[in-house]
Each structure stands twice: as C-alpha cells, then as structure tokens.
Amino acid sequence: MEETNKPVRELSRLARLSLTPQEEEELAGRLEEMVGYLHALSQVEHGAEVEAPSAVPFRPDQVEPSLDGDKLLNQAPQVRDGYVVTPRSVGEGGAE
C-alpha cells in the first residue's frame, strides 16, 4: 500500500495539494486504472482490435417502438408545418 501511494504523494506535492490518506488511496486506484487504459492503448496496432477495459457495459442495439409522431404533435401547444413551435432562445433579451 505504501509503495502504490508514493506516486500519488509526489504528484500531490508537485500540485501543492494536501490529501488525506483516504484520498491518496482513492487516487492511487484511479491512477492504476488510467495506466491500465494507457497500456491497452499502447497495444493497439493499426487495424488490430484489442480488448480494452470499459467503464460502460455495451448493449446490443435493437429497434424498439417509438413515439407516434401525430400523437406527439397533438399534445404540443403550437405546431407549424409538422414541427413543434418553441419560444426563441437566441437573440432575445435586453441590451445588444
């Protein structure tokens, strides 16, 4: 544990940050994670795929039913040419 926090202590000293031991521990884990990402990136060759760690699990794309456009437009307070009319938000206001 002491050895893994050493780079964090050095970085925090250079950045003039005072960290608690808990913050050092958390940042050491994040630093190791970043090094893992960089290692995975360094293994990539042009056109080659490498299994890289992902923070977000991917799901397969699927076509699913969407909103009925006519039903949606019937609920809008104002419609013009098949589009919902909204107040202008750019260029409004007082002084120019």
Q: Give me the pLDDT at residue 92, please.
A: 59
CB contact at 8 A, 30 and 37: no
Options 1.10.3470, 3.40.720, 1.10.20, 1.25.40; CATH for 2-42 is 1.10.20
What H or E segment, with its residue span, contains residue 79?
strand 79-80
**pLDDT at residue 41 above 50?**
yes
pLDDT in tens, 51-63: 666 667 777 888 8
pLDDT in tens, 61-80: 888 888 888 898 999 999 99
Domain boundaries, the chain: 2-42
The overall pTM is greater than 0.85: no
Collapse the DSSP code of 83 into the 3-class scheme (helix H, G, I; strand E, B; otherwise coil) and give the result: strand
